[in-house]
Structure 1
Amino acid sequence: MTAAFPVEALAGLAPVGLAELVERAALQTRVDRKYLVPEAVLPALLGQVAPYAQALDIDGARVFQYRSVYFDTPWLASYHDAAYRRRRRFKVRTRTYLDSGQCGLEVKINGARGSVTKHRLLYDPRDGETVHPGRGFVDEVLARESLGLATGTPLDPVLVTEYRRATLLLPESESRVTIDTDLAWRYGGATLRLSGVAVVETKSASAATPVDRVLWRAGTRPARISKYATGLAALRLDLPDGPWRRTLRRHFRGTIAPATPAPALSPRPEQEASCV
């Protein structure tokens, strides 16, 4: 069973509002480091970073529900670029903040030396499963980045993810940390849930953050995981999975059971991936 997010541990951190978080650490161009950690260690981790971390607080809430819809070409160009580790690649998604109902259409560009640049357009949440209203924005970003996708190439919804997120600000390094739990994926008629593990992601201009150092001292090293690519690889066994094979073997075990019709992401999953 998935453990509850350690809200009590978050309560021990000083609060920070959304406007200040964005002002101090928007980091639209950044270096990301991702870690897979057991949910059981989160209280200890938060306790260690409490002296120099603040928790995003909106009207007293510190954990928020997210839904992302990922779009790709009919031949999964975005996925294959990641699978074959092409240095420059793109990802297109909508992200809906379920607590507030706000939504954004995002284009993420992976560039040299592991840098990530995110372009974002405010979006109508009713359009969260289509790129059509924002297609001009997507084409403009991809053309400016010279990524070679022809204007008008179909971009269809492929994968849906949901998770709960807490966000930390590290003021001294002007960096951010996100902690995602209760991760769930839906592809076609199959769903997958990742139980008992959290994805901790540090986002900085380049240098390691204090959270990176705490994790390194504990023997935890960055993991290869992409919510889109790793989730799709777990659900589509016919796809190349080289970059995420170790993560898949260690954290995504079991058989994905098809379901018809495609179920909503609900508290009772068809399958839970086991974690070591």
Structure 2
Amino acid sequence: MTTTAAQPAWAERLTGIDLTELVDRAPLMTRVDRKYLIDAACLPPIVDALAADPDSRTRVLEIEGRRTFSYRSSYLDTPRLTTWYAAARGRRRRFKARVRDYCDTGQRWLEVKTRGPRGTSVKRRIAVVGQQERLGPEQTRFVAEVLATERIDPALADELQPSLVTTYRRTTLHHHDAVRECRITLDSDLGFTSPAGVTRSAPGLVVVEVKAGPSPMPVEHLLWRHGHRPITTSKYGVGMVWTHPELPALKWRRALARHRCAATPTSQGAPS
């Protein structure tokens, strides 16, 4: 089943780029991610500044006239929350597994993210057919092979089960300077649902993620001038704490506070 995401007005202010060119110029399956949390109301002047750039260094992904797309990610973890705790404690050898739905096209992918050298993220993925939430033999084998390659216990793949669903709308930008290119994703209308049915949402917040190399891009200098600094955050990390009050906030405490400030009144969780 496919859905069509509503398109924010600011997405119309930039020149479009098609998917083929974006993938060719900025594939970035291995990259350094820097994240920013921005109130949705603060985003338009930042986009205006990008659109006014005389060098036209920023373009927005456009597919069949659409510039904003609906995503759904079903995260997988062990009953002991092995992947969540490894991320929360900053373990060097850790991974994240999820089934991602591209709701506008009906595509599904099983994605496994691991840590590369010098703080990079490495993503591997395979297409998934069907709507099952749990992994089948082929998907389990794929995860195990990735873990073995990264010297992580491959037996963990057999324990994975659904642990959190996140939903959001994504707009993707292509950005460059004289020698470097990157992707920037802007995720809005964030929603989180636990297997027990606990739901939280932060519609007033946008997660801006710069997927680039180790050095800041020009767009990040623009964000800094507007008072925005990188923050340690993770949809899975924050979403798990917010929907599971028994979990400690740990390194996501600041990000969790921002999500709660942007929450709908009925979506507030108990403090942790």
Is the shorter-chain TM-score for this pair beyond 0.5, marking a shared fold? Answer: yes
Specify the alignment match of 1:263 in structure 2: none
Shift of 1:28: 0.5
1:139 matches 2:147: no
Shift of 1:83: 1.2
Match of 2:120 among 109, 115, 118: 115
Q: Over residues 182-223 of structure 1, what are the superposed CA-to-partner deviations in whole Å (9 max), with x where a residue is unaligned?
A: 000000221000131100000003221122111112221111
Q: Distance in 2 between matches of 1:183 and 1:59?
A: 24
Shift of 1:121: 0.7
1:182 matches 2:186: no
Q: In structure 1, what residue type is equivalent to 2:254?
A: R
Q: Distance in 2 between matches of 1:232 and 1:151?
A: 19
Q: In structure 2, what residue type is equivalent to 1:65?
A: S
3-state SS of 1:244 partner: helix
Q: Distance in 2 between matches of 1:125 and 1:227?
A: 24
Whether the aligned pair in 2 keeps the contact of 1:193 and 1:269 (CA below 8 Å) is no
Specify the alignment match of 1:260 in structure 2: none
Whether the aligned pair in 1 keeps the contact of 2:141 and 2:157 (CA below 8 Å) is no
Q: In structure 2, what residue type is equivalent to 1:120?
A: R
Q: Over residues 60-111 of structure 1, what are the superposed CA-to-partner deviations in whole Å (9 max), with x where a residue is unaligned?
A: 0000000000000110100000111112310000110101101110000123
Q: Distance in 2 between matches of 1:69 and 1:78?
A: 14
Shift of 1:154: 1.0
Specify the alignment match of 2:50 in structure 1: 49
Specify the alignment match of 2:23 in structure 1: 22
4+ runs of 1 displaced by more than 3 Å? Answer: none
Q: In structure 1, what residue type is equivalent to 2:113?
A: K
Specify the alignment match of 1:100 in structure 2: 105
Q: Over residues 126-153 of structure 1, what are the superposed CA-to-partner deviations in whole Å (9 max), with x where a residue is unaligned?
A: 23x1222411111100100101242653
Specify the alignment match of 2:267 in structure 1: 271
| Gap runs ≥5 in structure 1 | 256-267
Q: 1:73-222 residue pairs with structure 2 within 5 A?
A: 73-127=78-132, 129-132=133-136, 133-150=138-155, 153-172=158-177, 173-187=180-194, 188-222=196-230
| Gap runs ≥5 in structure 2 | none
3-state SS of 2:92 partner: coil
Aligned residues: 257
Shift of 1:125: 4.6
Match of 1:69 among 74, 88, 103: 74
Q: Distance in 2 between matches of 1:272 and 1:23?
A: 42
Shift of 1:236: 1.2
C-alpha distance 238-58 of structure 1, shift in aligned 2 (>3 A): same
TM-score computed with the length of structure 1 as normaliser:
0.87
Worse-matched range after superposition: 142-151 or 55-64: 142-151
1:231 matches 2:235: no
Q: Distance in 2 between matches of 1:152 and 1:46?
A: 41
Q: Distance in 1 between matches of 2:93 and 2:157?
A: 20
Q: Over residues 204-258 of structure 1, what are the superposed CA-to-partner deviations in whole Å (9 max), with x where a residue is unaligned?
A: 0322112211111222111111111111011112123211012223432699xxx
C-alpha distance 12-191 of structure 1, shift in aligned 2 (>3 A): same
C-alpha distance 181-125 of structure 1, shift in aligned 2 (>3 A): farther
C-alpha distance 149-243 of structure 1, shift in aligned 2 (>3 A): farther
Specify the alignment match of 2:253 in structure 1: 245
Q: In structure 2, what residue type is equivalent to 1:47?
A: D
Whether the aligned pair in 1 keeps the contact of 2:202 and 2:262 (CA below 8 Å) is no
Q: Distance in 1 between matches of 2:265 and 2:154?
A: 36
Q: Distance in 2 between matches of 1:86 and 1:137?
A: 22
Whether the aligned pair in 1 keeps the contact of 2:200 and 2:267 (CA below 8 Å) is yes
3-state SS of 1:70 partner: strand
Q: Distance in 1 between matches of 2:6 and 2:116?
A: 33
